[in-house]
């Protein structure tokens, strides 16, 4: 009986520790400086050519982003970050959300599933 009680206590302790472990915060990720290279992301809010054009114009305003391409059908955005730039994902997201606000109609231009592809 004592061994069963000990096993239950050890299991409970392990479960409580796993829930108490700190989780990485989204803010820390968004504050990271993007490394130079090619990126691809999904933007669910691309519903028309105007959306794509506004997203492209917004990204091209950043000194450090080049080769922006928006694919309306696939709802993706591809761009390159130049070497030496100090762009934070949070700055890009903020500018895209401001552009979405200008578009209106509940537009959401948040970059999702951002991946470095080159």
Check residue 1 and give its pLDDT. Answer: 56
61 pLDDT higher than 90: yes
> Which of the two residues, 28 and 110, has the higher pLDDT score?
110
Check residue 78 and give its pLDDT. Answer: 98
What are the structural domain ranges in the chain?
24-116
Q: What is the DSSP string of 2-70?
A: HHHHHHHHHHHHHHHHHHHSPPPPHHHHHTSBPPSEEEEEE-TT--SHHHHHHHHHHHHTSTTEEEEEE
Task: Please report how many Cα atoms fall inside a 13 Å half-sphere around the Cα of residue 20, on the Cβ side.
Answer: 6
Q: Which pLDDT band, with edges at 50, 70 and 90, does 113 fall under? A: very high
Q: Which CATH architecture has domain 24-116?
A: 2-Layer Sandwich (3.30)
Q: What is the mean pLDDT of residues 37-53?
A: 92
pLDDT tens, 72-87? 999 999 999 999 999 9
């Amino acid at each position: 009986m004592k061994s069963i009680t000990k096993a239950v206590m050890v299991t409970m302790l392990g479960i409580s520790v796993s829930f108490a472990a700190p989780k990485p915060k989204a803010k820390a990720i968004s504050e990271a400086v993007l490394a130079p290279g090619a990126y691809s992301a999904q933007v669910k809010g691309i519903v028309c050519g105007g959306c794509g054009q506004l997203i492209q114009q917004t990204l091209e305003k950043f000194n450090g982003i080049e080769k922006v391409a928006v694919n309306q059908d696939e709802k993706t955005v591809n761009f390159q970050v130049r070497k030496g730039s100090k762009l934070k994902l949070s700055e890009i997201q903020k500018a895209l959300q401001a552009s979405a606000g200008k578009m209106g109609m509940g537009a959401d231009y948040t970059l999702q599933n951002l991946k470095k592809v080159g």
